[in-house]
A and B are shown apart, each in its own frame.
Chain A
Amino acid sequence: MMTPFYKYGLFGDEVSLLVAFLLGLGFGFFLERAGFGSARKLAAQFYLYDMSVFKVMFTAIVTAMLGVTYLGWLGWLDLDLVYLVPTNLGPQIVGGLVLGVGFVVGGYCPGTSVAALATGRLDAVVYALGIFAGTFVYAEVYPAIQGFVNANAMGQVTLPEVFELPWGLVVFAVVVMAVVGFWGATLIERRFRSEP
């Protein structure tokens, strides 16, 4: 039983598009369940009285991370075949900063904006239009900034590889950090909610 199924030829491109839709269905469902169809709830993360973004994001990461770890360990998933976005440290650091600013200014990220506009948020529609505009500008300036965009290429690397630590140790560390982080986040929430 080798997975990823698609990479072993179990189904072709057409079916994978259907799978994409179904996965998106689950994705959007849980995003909205968590309240991420609301810009105010999302932005609240950065005002410290609602740390749901942090909690949801890292719970998802820990869940999937433990999942691939155990499935790979059991030999049920070929982890080498799961696509890893190549690392380009410089642009990704800058991109993260810009995205963070965009998050607080706009109130969404691309995925949550889709979830929000589907539930009727007009600001999410405008936000999505902004993404289109921004993408267009980016595409126009891309030839000029190409050098930077492709800088610091490290290929497909994982944290265990770069720090030369066993995979399991990094997994454990992430779990511990997450649990401690959640406990701390709850404390922070209580503190900032009691303030006027």
Chain B
Amino acid sequence: MPPGAGAGPGSPYLNPYLAGMGLGLVLLAAFVLVGRGLGASGAFSSTLSWLVNLVAPAHAQANLYMQDYLGDGTTHPLKAWLVFEVVGVAAGALLSGLLAGRARFTVEKGPRVSTAIRLVCAFAGGILMAFGAHLARGCTSGQALTGGALLNVGSWAFMLMVFVGGYAVAWFMRWQWR
């Protein structure tokens, strides 16, 4: 079986087109109910701003970027739309994983790389991802999916570059996945 296609125990994955339609309908529901799309990176910003504010409030409140997520103090930074949405994502994914028997403690990696190195790469990837998402004002959920459906110029440009960036380095990272 080719690696990556329903690998490991549990039910086979859903037809990608059906899964995509499901996602698309959830996105559409967001548009109709709340007038905005989905997202994820903003939740990380809110949570981080809240954490830094707990530990070093003066620094957090003086920081130009975190100010946007802390607001004027009248609302708790974690009482943000995206934070609640992301908690939902975790819950929904867990539900699906449990139903399909795919939830288990594991480290996703290719056969040739060690767990330690994989985790280092994961951490590094996260850092890069943070920069990318904040520069672009969104990640694949917020920009690509949401903006893509709304034919947003910046989102389509972003989406294109994500694929370009990914394919450009794929060759150099193949030892991690193949």
Contact = CB atoms under 8 A, between A and B. Distances in A.
A and B: real partners? yes
Interface of A: 3-7, 16-35, 37-41, 43-47, 49-50, 52, 54-65, 67-68, 71, 77, 81-89, 91-124, 126-140, 142-143, 146, 149, 154, 156-162, 167, 170-171, 174, 182, 193
Contacts of B156: 159
Contacts of B94: 28, 32, 118-119
B166 A114 contact: no
B110 A4 contact: no
26 contacts: A23-B38, A25-B95, A29-B92, A34-B20, A40-B3, A58-B148, A59-B21, A60-B149, A68-B149, A71-B28, A88-B137, A97-B168, A98-B131, A103-B162, A104-B166, A107-B177, A109-B139, A110-B129, A110-B140, A118-B89, A124-B122, A126-B123, A130-B126, A135-B45, A137-B131, A143-B64
Interface string B42-73: 01110111011000000000011110000000
A127 B92 contact: no
Question: Main SS of the interface on chain B?
Answer: helix
B93 A97 contact: no
Contacts of B86: 24, 111, 114
Contacts of A104: 125, 165-166, 169-170, 173
A60 B147 CA distance: 11
Contact of B40 (A60, A110, A162): A110
Nearest to B156: A159
Interface in B1-54: 2-8, 13-14, 16-17, 19-41, 43-45, 47-49, 51-52
Interface of B: 2-8, 13-14, 16-17, 19-41, 43-45, 47-49, 51-52, 63-66, 79, 81-82, 84-97, 100, 102-110, 118-119, 121-170, 173-174, 176-178
4 tightest A-B CB contacts, nearest first: A106-B125, A130-B126, A24-B88, A100-B165
A191 B12 CA distance: 21
A116 B130 CA distance: 17
Contacts of A87: 152-155, 157
A96 B167 CA distance: 12
A139 to B, nearest CB: 4
A30 B48 CA distance: 27
A102 B96 contact: no
A119 B102 CA distance: 7
Contacts of B26: 23, 26-27, 30
A137 B66 CA distance: 11
Contact of B149 (A40, A64, A170): A64
Contacts of B17: 55-56, 59, 182
A195 B161 CA distance: 27
A154 B148 contact: no
A61 to B, nearest CB: 4
B61 to A, nearest CB: 12
A5 B32 contact: yes
A45 B166 CA distance: 9
A6 B37 CA distance: 13
